[in-house]
Amino acid sequence: MATPSLSWFCFVILLCSAAAEALEGSFSVELIHRDSPKSPFYVPSETPFQRAGKAVRRSIARVRGIRSNDKGEPSAGITRIDADYLINITIGTPPVSIVAIADTGSNLIWTQSPPCDHCFPQEKPLFNPRESSTCAEVDCNSDECHLFDRTNCASQGSTCQYSVSYGDKLSSVGNISTDIIGLSTLTGSAVTFPGMVFGCGFNNRGPFSTHTSGVVGLGPGDASLVSQIGGNEGSHFAYCLVPFFSTGKYTSKLTFGSDALLSGDGIVTTPLIIDSDTLYYHMTLEGISINGKKFEVSGSSEDDDITGNMIIDSGTTLTWLPSDLYRQIEPEVSAAIDLPRAKDPIEGYNLCYESSGVLKGAPSITIHFTGADVVLNWYNAFFQVKENITCFSFVPTGGQPMYGNLAQMDFMISYDLDLFTLSFKPYDCAN
């Protein structure tokens, strides 16, 4: 896994400069949890625990998608389209509203567009590039064409096309274009970025949801929203996720610019590692402490390289640990909790207890990343899945370990793409 230089993120200088000119300072936008009342996925008749069950099942399916991609299936950095957070953007002149999946595991912005050789039904109107006075197709000779991982050109000078495949036989093919992309900030103002590169998908196959119109990638790839904003401001972003059962009252936020850099006490920082093949954000997990007793990742001796062994993923609910590490900590967690064991109602957990509300006797848990010890709240590691059942939200995997969003809630998490670092600060994200 190689750490690219800053120029890797911003090699199309004019493109990044144009976006940076539109950004006069820091700004924050809403990250909408798909199970919150602000989401088009929200079903008022569902109980909070039914929504919790759906979140766990999405997490299981997402990790299975990564396993399939590890076997050589084509991908563009994202493995599942059903991540947990949404973002509202506009594209074009006049602006067309888009509800999109927001995902740090994705490196591509795309939306459905005519001529729709094959499009999935969507609730909002399609973005039509011919109706936008500021939209322009990208030709195969341009630098913008090479921002995408997989492109197809019938001949030099023809329109550049992208192709992306996801898990569960989902895929999108379309023309690469440039246009104005707009975001509504939490202060009520709008910020716009001209000349942004994105995909107009006209052949989109698989069980996509009617509630969304595409994807906004927040990954480190050159075509993602983060990289295209560019400049000194766009090279930093942060998010603060409110706890799962608070999403009905409060909104998570995504911040770009200098305000995304953390200050004050309580900050811990670890190297951010970019996998040049998958373009995920990786960290190095060294071990976990349960009530002060530390358990190390197998192979963490000086002779073994575990660099970048864990993905941080905002779109995955659970935290998936290396099986060897999980087998070490499970007995310690179990011994610390003096409550009756319960049967897992979702079949996604190993440890469940008869408990509602605050889990009594929950052990203190510290995650040890290289250079950063992250001390968790009890609800970062335990998830109430029914009125009287709470489960340990860390589970084993024989595949790619992932640091899920339950473990990230009530932390300000800052990505510095200049220094390639990831910082954590305990934070009341509802405020």
pLDDT for 333 equals 96
Least confident of 201-205, 279-283, 321-325: 279-283
Structure tokens at 183: 């975001």
pLDDT for 72 equals 33
pLDDT for 53 equals 82
345-367 residue pLDDT tens: 887 788 999 998 889 889 999 99
pTM: 0.87
Specify whether the CB–CB gap between 424 and 241 falls below 8 A: no
CA–CA gap between residue 93 and residue 100 (Å, rounded): 19
Question: Closest by alpha carbon to 279, among 336, 325, 219, 320?
Answer: 219
Mean predicted confidence (pLDDT) in 174-182:
95
pLDDT for 301 equals 53
Between 380 and 223, the more confident residue is: 380
CA atoms 46, 384, 269, 304: torsion sign: negative
Question: Closest by alpha carbon to 23, among 255, 233, 195?
Answer: 233
CB atoms inside a 10 Å sphere around CB 323? 15
Specify whether the CB–CB gap between 323 and 396 falls below 8 A: yes
Least confident of 229-233, 318-322, 380-384, 394-398: 229-233
CA torsion 306-311-312-317 (nearest 10°) is -120
CA–CA gap between residue 379 and residue 409 (Å, rounded): 9
181-232 residue pLDDT tens: 999 999 999 999 999 999 999 999 877 788 988 889 888 888 889 888 865 4
Kindly report the backbone phi and psi dihedral angles of residue 29, in degrees, each rounded to the nearest multiple of 5, phi listed first. Answer: -130, 165
Active site residue 313: yes
CA torsion 58-199-181-14 (nearest 10°) is 130
Mean predicted confidence (pLDDT) in 377-402:
92
Specify whether the CB–CB gap between 270 and 422 falls below 8 A: yes
CA atoms 166, 170, 174, 176: torsion sign: negative
Give one DSSP letter per residue of 378-408, joined into a string.
Answer: GGGTEEEEETTEEEE-EEEESS--EE-HHHH
Active site residue 84: no
Question: Closest by alpha carbon to 364, among 351, 354, 377, 352?
Answer: 377
pLDDT for 13 equals 33
Where does the pLDDT of residue 4 fall: very low under 50, low under 70, confident under 90, or very high at 90 and above? very low
Q: Which CATH number fits domain 261-426: 2.40.70.10, 3.40.1210.10, 3.40.47.10, 1.10.540.10?
A: 2.40.70.10
Between 244 and 177, the more confident residue is: 177
Of these residues, 35, 82, 84, 103, which one is catalytic? 103
Specify whether the CB–CB gap between 423 and 416 falls below 8 A: yes
Mean predicted confidence (pLDDT) in 380-398:
92
pLDDT for 23 equals 47
pLDDT for 254 equals 95
Question: Closest by alpha carbon to 431, among 250, 257, 245?
Answer: 250
pLDDT for 81 equals 56
Find the largest Cα–Cα distance for the chain. 69
CB atoms inside a 10 Å sphere around CB 125? 12
Side-chain-side CA neighbours of 32 within 13 Å: the count stands at 20
Structure tokens at 267: 């900050």
E strand spans, 70-170: 85-91, 96-103, 109-112, 136-137, 151-152, 161-165
Between 55 and 113, the more confident residue is: 113
Mean pLDDT of the chain: 84
235-274 residue pLDDT tens: 789 999 999 888 778 889 999 988 999 999 999 999 999 8
CATH class of 6-254: mainly beta
pLDDT > 80? residue 300: no
pLDDT > 70? residue 70: no
Question: Closest by alpha carbon to 223, among 90, 126, 107?
Answer: 107
CA–CA gap between residue 249 and residue 159 (Å, rounded): 45
Beta strand 421-426 pairing with 268-271: antiparallel
pLDDT for 184 equals 94
Specify whether the CB–CB gap between 160 and 144 falls below 8 A: yes
Domain ranges of the chain: 6-254, 261-426
Q: Which residues contact 125 (CB under 8 A, 6 or more apart)?
A: 96
pLDDT > 60? residue 21: no
- Are both 6-254 and 261-426 of the same fold? yes
